[in-house]
Chains A and B, each alone.
Chain A
């Protein structure tokens, strides 16, 4: 039963293969791995590092931009205006008293969402 199904499936995929496509082609990168998993970018970069390169070679990981040299400006999480204050309870930034009231009225998931978009939510 299972074998028949497998056959069926094979036929199905075969019929889909376009004429110009070599039906026997197998990717060398996953030809021998049982799980047939592709390396992600991080793994590829690690693999590249294990090669021996000429001294002047430049890699993908080498051209990462440096961190900012100036301190990040702080903006209100609810309006985008420059913010001078941070609510100690929700950790949201706000610009004025009316924004503070609004911040305190927000539900937890909105607060978390607002922190998340500037990656300031610490998962504890």
Chain B
């Protein structure tokens, strides 16, 4: 049902299914493995695959097994990537190897590699394959060193090559050697100038806003706008809404002013339908409810009647027995054994007791009979009698003019009470706050009371003395507000009946339950995407994409600038939001000299292109990879220069930081 019908967008929660463990065939031996290790999604496949085999969220959840049980040790269940079928269920346990867009937690990365190689079906003692893996631009040396160490020493891979995702996408999409890459990632957005095929790292810039911030912003915003649906608005749903309903406005300010117009709003608003469960009781009409009530009452009466009849029967039998005993006893004298036996039978000591017992029983039977009779007539009465209306309301004259006058009076009364109520509410609020006139007045009276001379305490002698409490009471006038409530309700019932449109102004009642579960998207549709251009809306002081692009361009000579703007290339999963191209073109038009040329391109597949690029250029990348010997002699942070990767500078690492080599055991 997902999709937009009638401006209503039906949310459907996506469930991920577990990844299959692929068979490991002879043909795959020594084929490179390509890993696009993004901070949000990870894509993995053999270099011979047309598309990545595994696509999963780069995260895991640690859950404690049988929590609360006595014998539970601290073993926990770890769900990795696509093992998590519903991410919202483990949202608080979710962990990732990333800090921003840099891998920092390599035990977590180890877990992800285990997952990757297991699902690729690797079943040999080492992962005997070259690896092509992506990393962030200017990835810290330390981070790369740890990654190489993990891949070579833990998995025994043959070769490792590092690439930057945005550069792979750029070279896949364009044959040009110059350009600017705008890579909108999950954590941050990179602006990377490329000259002669190589990235100019020194002039690249990173803005700390990415897809993740957009999702979080939308999520929090919707939660605050609809606090009643706090738990129904999840991050996954916000993400779903973001990528299916948002666009980037070409001219944000003018589009904003459109939204201020109610007609435009009605025409363009999108309703997000949250899943909901209809309560069955609400489908019953008042008549049906009444019928049900009546049936229940009748059933109860029937049960009672049956019980009474049973009791009557029992009593009558008992009476008959006792009478029989009494008659029998008359034939014997008290000395005879039969006489005593009869007394035992009746569970009494003397004949008098037996006689009182029988008479009491007779009375009870009489009473029961009377009750049964009453109950029978009552049921009949019930069936005829209609429940009376609760309150006889003010009579409304039938004459149209009179009626109008009368209703106007009622409306006026309603307004008065309503105003009184709001005034009281405001006063209460004022009182609660310090430094308002009302609370200062209250404090003044209290301090005066406290100051009063205590020589002659006659407080309470006069009735007016007690009024002072009314003045200093925090929620003054609480008692008569209840009265007002009742009156207000009464008036509302009349108004609802005679002029329903009047109350419509003040209390809008939703028509269906579904509408109760709808979120309205208006300005949000352009506001979220605008975050990329105005990070200040998210509290980030950095400039947006356009202003940063302008800054980066200004770091270059004019000749270089025109080479760069000729090929402005946008990639990264967030680039899927429509309208991005037009907006960038508009912004470039304002920042570039009059009648100069520029071109904006969006990646063919902003999400998948880094992986596909690595596949397309795998031979070239692998030629510049790092072999195990190079790793051992040059260190794990080492890089060879190639078009798709980071630049490398050799650091001189102070000796105290170098970790001493420990003899390896078991290898």
Question: Residues of A contacting B527 with CB < 8 Å?
Answer: 75, 80
Q: How far is the CA of A44 from the CA of B143 in the complex (A)?
A: 8
Q: Given that A18-B118, A27-B150 are known contacts, is A58 also in contact with B541, CB under 8 Å in the complex?
A: no
Q: How far is the CA of A100 from the CA of B654 in the complex (A)?
A: 60
> When the two chains form their complex, are residues A57 and B205 in contact, meaning their CB atoms are under 8 A apart?
no
For residue A100, give the distance in angstroms from its CB to the closest CB of chain B: 14
Q: Given that A20-B126, A51-B651, A52-B654 are known contacts, is A25 also in contact with B102, CB under 8 Å in the complex?
A: no
Select one of B208, B220, B647 contacting A117, CB under 8 A. B220
Closest B residue to A5 by CB, please name it.
B73
Select one of B107, B153, B206 contacting A38, CB under 8 A. B107
> When the two chains form their complex, are residues A31 and B662 in contact, meaning their CB atoms are under 8 A apart?
yes
> When the two chains form their complex, are residues A20 and B153 in contact, meaning their CB atoms are under 8 A apart?
no
Q: How far is the CA of A110 from the CA of B524 in the complex (A)?
A: 18
Q: Mark A45-85, 1 if CB is under 8 A from B, else 0.
A: 10110111110111110111111111011010001111000
Closest A residue to B105 by CB, please name it.
A38
> When the two chains form their complex, are residues B542 and A48 in contact, meaning their CB atoms are under 8 A apart?
no
Q: How far is the CA of A30 from the CA of B102 in the complex (A)?
A: 18
For residue A68, give the distance in angstroms from its CB to the closest CB of chain B: 4
Select one of A65, A82, A113 contacting B548, CB under 8 A. A65
For residue A22, give the distance in angstroms from its CB to the closest CB of chain B: 5
Q: How far is the CA of A2 from the CA of B204 in the complex (A)?
A: 55
Q: How far is the CA of A18 from the CA of B112 in the complex (A)?
A: 12
> When the two chains form their complex, are residues A47 and B154 in contact, meaning their CB atoms are under 8 A apart?
no
Flag whether A40 is at the interface (Cβ < 8 A): yes
Flag whether A124 is at the interface (Cβ < 8 A): no
> When the two chains form their complex, are residues B149 and A27 in contact, meaning their CB atoms are under 8 A apart?
yes
> When the two chains form their complex, are residues A45 and B127 in contact, meaning their CB atoms are under 8 A apart?
no
Q: How far is the CA of A58 from the CA of B220 in the complex (A)?
A: 36
Give the interface size class of chain A: 35 or more
Flag whether B146 is at the interface (Cβ < 8 A): yes
Q: How far is the CA of A82 from the CA of B252 in the complex (A)?
A: 11
Task: List B residues 642-657 near A (Cβ within 8 Å).
Answer: 647, 649-654, 657
How many residue pairs, one in A and one in B, have C-beta atoms under 8 Å apart?
199
Task: List B residues 217-236 near A (Cβ within 8 Å).
Answer: 217, 220-221, 223-224, 227
Flag whether A34 is at the interface (Cβ < 8 A): no
For residue A1, give the distance in angstroms from its CB to the closest CB of chain B: 11
Q: Given that A12-B75, A22-B156, A64-B205 are known contacts, is A118 also in contact with B537, CB under 8 Å in the complex?
A: yes
Flag whether B517 is at the interface (Cβ < 8 A): no
Select one of B544, B548, B652, B667 contacting A52, CB under 8 A. B652
> When the two chains form their complex, are residues B153 and A25 in contact, meaning their CB atoms are under 8 A apart?
yes
Question: Residues of B contacting A57 with CB < 8 Å?
Answer: 649, 651
- B side interface size, CB within 8 A: 84
> When the two chains form their complex, are residues B142 and A22 in contact, meaning their CB atoms are under 8 A apart?
no
Question: Residues of B contacting A28 with CB < 8 Å?
Answer: 146, 149, 659
Flag whether A9 is at the interface (Cβ < 8 A): yes
Question: Residues of A contacting B551 with CB < 8 Å?
Answer: 65-66, 69
Interface stretch of the complex, out of B132-140, B276-284, B491-499, B617-625 = B132-140
Question: Residues of A contacting B647 with CB < 8 Å?
Answer: 58
Flag whether B505 is at the interface (Cβ < 8 A): no
Closest A residue to B433 by CB, please name it.
A89
Flag whether B471 is at the interface (Cβ < 8 A): no
Q: How far is the CA of A81 from the CA of B224 in the complex (A)?
A: 17
Flag whether B202 is at the interface (Cβ < 8 A): yes
> When the two chains form their complex, are residues B543 and A68 in contact, meaning their CB atoms are under 8 A apart?
yes
Q: Given that A5-B73, A48-B140, A63-B201 are known contacts, is A73 also in contact with B534, CB under 8 Å in the complex?
A: yes
Most chain-B Cβ atoms within 10 A of its Cβ — which of A29, A31, A39?
A29
Question: Residues of A contacting B657 with CB < 8 Å?
Answer: 47, 50-51
Q: How far is the CA of A27 from the CA of B148 in the complex (A)?
A: 11
Select one of A9, A12, A80, A113 contacting B224, CB under 8 A. A113
Question: Residues of B contacting A44 with CB < 8 Å?
Answer: 102, 104, 140, 142-143
> When the two chains form their complex, are residues B542 and A117 in contact, meaning their CB atoms are under 8 A apart?
no
Q: Given that A12-B75, A23-B666 are known contacts, is A81 also in contact with B259, CB under 8 Å in the complex?
A: yes
Question: Residues of B contacting A45 with CB < 8 Å?
Answer: 140
Flag whether B523 is at the interface (Cβ < 8 A): yes
> When the two chains form their complex, are residues A9 and B73 in contact, meaning their CB atoms are under 8 A apart?
yes
Q: Given that A68-B536, A119-B539 are known contacts, is A20 also in contact with B155, CB under 8 Å in the complex?
A: yes
Flag whether B664 is at the interface (Cβ < 8 A): yes
B interface with A by C-beta (< 8 Å): 73-75, 99-100, 102, 104-107, 110, 114, 117-118, 122-127, 136-143, 146, 149-150, 153-156, 191, 201-202, 204-208, 217, 220-221, 223-224, 227, 253, 256, 259-260, 523-524, 527, 534-544, 547-548, 551, 647, 649-654, 657, 659, 662, 664-667
Interchain Cβ contacts under 8 Å between A and B, 15 examples: A19-B124, A20-B123, A20-B156, A22-B153, A22-B154, A27-B110, A27-B149, A39-B104, A56-B649, A60-B140, A67-B542, A70-B543, A79-B523, A80-B523, A117-B217
Apart from A24-B664, A44-B140, 8 more pairs, CB < 8 Å: A18-B117, A22-B126, A38-B104, A65-B551, A80-B527, A117-B221, A117-B539, A120-B539
